[in-house]
């Protein structure tokens, strides 16, 4: 007696799989939980890396000139003033402006103190200014004028509006605008924008004050030439993508963030593999008689192998979809309730989770295939 082709074998395999609801649910639970953990952990890592270069994203400069020792935008090393004139005179430069970034301590009306990031924009051009929701950009030139950013850390300043006054290093600071930027900061510190000249007056600085030089090349082809000219002066020029990647590499390889995320992802993989592998092997053992019966009535070894691979793949892909869906829904819900929650679902972490699911399905099915191929039909009917 012959089975009705490969389609018939797969239909039988599907019924064997889903008819035992307890085992099928346990299989799905193991894969779903593993995928959920992988996507959740790697999404948080992606969010951290995205926010780590928020300054680069928000300023939007094409090329950044900096000290070669700089690893992240928040850890700038001041450059001498002559560097700005030198960069402006280079071939291929459309324009270049200085940028100041630093930290300050704001005293609120209730007497509490709050750390803030201060961004000092070029006085003439205001290159890198935020998009304003309230106020006029011209008011930043007024006495003591600052622009506050409405992001996830905005509430830490008491949700100030136009006209709100602060004390910043014994100087009066007045909010003249409320702005929005593309990305929130990583370390939970509110951001204020002001003029470059005001920033270096209000905050303690060294003899050099330029944190970065922002360069606009005449054409994309001029970027490489600008990099060479800057390197000849002993400094480093990076485009926005390179600076973002340099920041990400710092957090991946020179801090504990990358190692911890890798360990947590490995734990999720081991949990999923152990639960799914053990449960699937138990499922094969409990159905050995049925596999033997199929072999006795004409099922070939390759058809039985296809059946087991189908069962493992179906379980793995279903668990993958459930895990990704649950993780995405939780991330979306968390962002609605927690504005400073940093998690982004990207292609690479979905691909990583999918690859691990394939490994889990492959290992699980391998043990089952070996056991089923050793079945002799007469052993099933001996009793």
**For residues 221 and 63, is the Cβ–Cβ distance under 8 A?**
no
The answer to which of 2-6, 163-167, 277-281, 360-364 has the lowest mean pLDDT is: 2-6
Q: Is 305 exposed, middle or buried (0-12, 13-18, 19+ CB in 10 A)?
A: middle
The answer to which of 243-247, 302-306, 348-352 has the lowest mean pLDDT is: 302-306
Position 2 scores a pLDDT of 45
Which sign, positive or negative, has the C-alpha torsion 230, 69, 200, 182?
A: positive
Beta pairing, strands 145-149 & 191-195: antiparallel
Beta pairing, strands 165-168 & 93-107: antiparallel
Residue of 150, 133, 63, 138 lying closest to 99 (CA atoms): 63
- Strand ranges in the chain using DSSP code E only, listed in sequence order: 63-66, 93-107, 113-121, 131-135, 145-149, 165-168, 171-180, 191-195, 212-217, 236-239
H/E stretch holding 370: helix 347-373
Residue 1 pLDDT exceeds 60: no
What is the pLDDT averaged over residues 296-301?
72
Residue 371 pLDDT exceeds 90: no
Per-residue pLDDT tens digits for 87-111:
999 999 999 999 999 988 999 888 8
Q: How many CA atoms does the CB half-sphere of 94 hold within 13 Å?
A: 13
Position 235 scores a pLDDT of 96
**For residues 318 and 29, is the Cβ–Cβ distance under 8 A?**
no
- How far is CA 185 from each of CA 106, 150, 157, 177, 189, rounded to the nearest angstrom? 17, 11, 15, 19, 7
Residue 113 pLDDT exceeds 60: yes
- How far is CA 71 from each of CA 49, 68, 190, 247, 271, rounded to the nearest angstrom? 13, 8, 21, 6, 36
Question: At a CB cut-off of 8 Å and minimum separation 6, what does 301 contact?
Answer: 295, 373
Position 66 scores a pLDDT of 96
Average pLDDT of the chain, as a whole number: 85
In the chain, what's the furthest Cα-to-Cα distance?
97
The single-letter DSSP state of residue 130 is P
Per-residue pLDDT tens digits for 165-219:
989 988 999 999 999 998 888 778 899 999 999 999 998 888 898 999 999 999 9
What is the pLDDT averaged over residues 249-265?
81
Give percent of the chain with pLDDT exceeding 70: 94
Per-residue pLDDT tens digits for 4-20:
456 677 787 788 777 77
CA atoms of 220 and 324, how far apart (whole Å): 39
Q: In the numeric block, which tokens belong to residue 184? A: 């929130």
Per-residue pLDDT tens digits for 311-360:
888 888 888 899 999 999 998 888 888 777 778 888 888 888 888 888 87
CA atoms of 233 and 95, how far apart (whole Å): 18
Q: Would you tell me how many other CB atoms lie within 10 Å of the CB of residue 336? A: 9
User: Which residue matches tokens 């690479």?
Assistant: 348
Euclidean distance between the first and final Cα of the chain, in Å? 22
Position 89 scores a pLDDT of 94
Q: Length of the chain in residues, anyone?
A: 383
Radius of gyration of the chain, Cα coordinates, nearest whole angstrom = 30
**Residue that wins the pLDDT comparison between 248 and 272:** 248
What is the pLDDT averaged over residues 264-271?
78
Per-residue pLDDT tens digits for 38-66:
888 888 888 888 888 888 989 989 999 99
Position 6 scores a pLDDT of 63
């Amino acid at each position: 007696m012959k089975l009705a082709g490969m389609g018939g074998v797969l239909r039988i395999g599907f019924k064997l799989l889903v008819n035992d609801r307890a085992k099928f649910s346990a299989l799905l639970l193991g894969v779903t939980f593993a995928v959920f953990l992988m996507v959740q952990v790697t999404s948080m890592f992606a969010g951290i890396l995205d926010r780590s270069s928020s300054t680069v994203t928000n300023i939007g400069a094409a090329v950044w000139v900096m000290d070669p020792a700089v690893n992240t935008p928040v850890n700038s090393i001041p450059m001498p003033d002559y560097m700005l004139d030198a960069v402006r005179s280079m071939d291929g430069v459309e324009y270049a402006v200085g940028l100041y970034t630093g930290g300050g301590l704001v005293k609120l009306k209730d007497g509490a103190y709050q750390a803030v990031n201060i961004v000092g924009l070029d006085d003439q051009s205001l290159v890198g200014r935020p998009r304003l929701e309230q106020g006029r950009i011209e008011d930043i030139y007024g006495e003591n004028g600052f622009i506050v950013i409405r992001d996830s850390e905005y509430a830490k300043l008491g949700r100030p509006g136009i006209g709100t006054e602060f004390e910043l290093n014994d100087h009066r600071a007045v909010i003249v605008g409320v702005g929005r930027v593309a990305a929130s900061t990583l370390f939970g510190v509110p951001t204020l924008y002001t003029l470059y000249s005001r920033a270096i007056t209000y905050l303690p600085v060294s003899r050099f004050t330029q944190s970065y030089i922002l360069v606009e090349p005449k054409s994309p082809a001029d970027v490489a030439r600008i990099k060479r000219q800057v390197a000849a002066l002993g400094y480093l020029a990076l485009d926005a993508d390179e600076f973002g990647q340099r920041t990400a590499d710092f957090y991946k390889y020179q801090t504990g963030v990358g190692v911890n995320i890798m360990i947590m992802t490995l734990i999720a993989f081991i949990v999923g593999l152990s639960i799914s592998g053990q449960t699937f092997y138990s499922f094969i053992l409990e159905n050995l008689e049925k596999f033997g019966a199929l072999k006795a009535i004409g099922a070939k070894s390759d058809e039985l192998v296809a059946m087991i691979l189908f069962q493992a793949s179906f379980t793995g892909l279903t668990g993958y979809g459930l895990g990704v869906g649950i993780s995405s829904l939780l991330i979306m819900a968390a962002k609605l309730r927690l504005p400073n929650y940093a998690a982004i679902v990207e292609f690479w972490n979905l691909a990583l989770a999918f690859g691990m699911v394939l490994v889990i399905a492959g290992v699980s099915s391998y043990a089952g295939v070996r056991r089923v191929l050793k079945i002799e039909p007469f052993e099933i009917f001996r009793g």
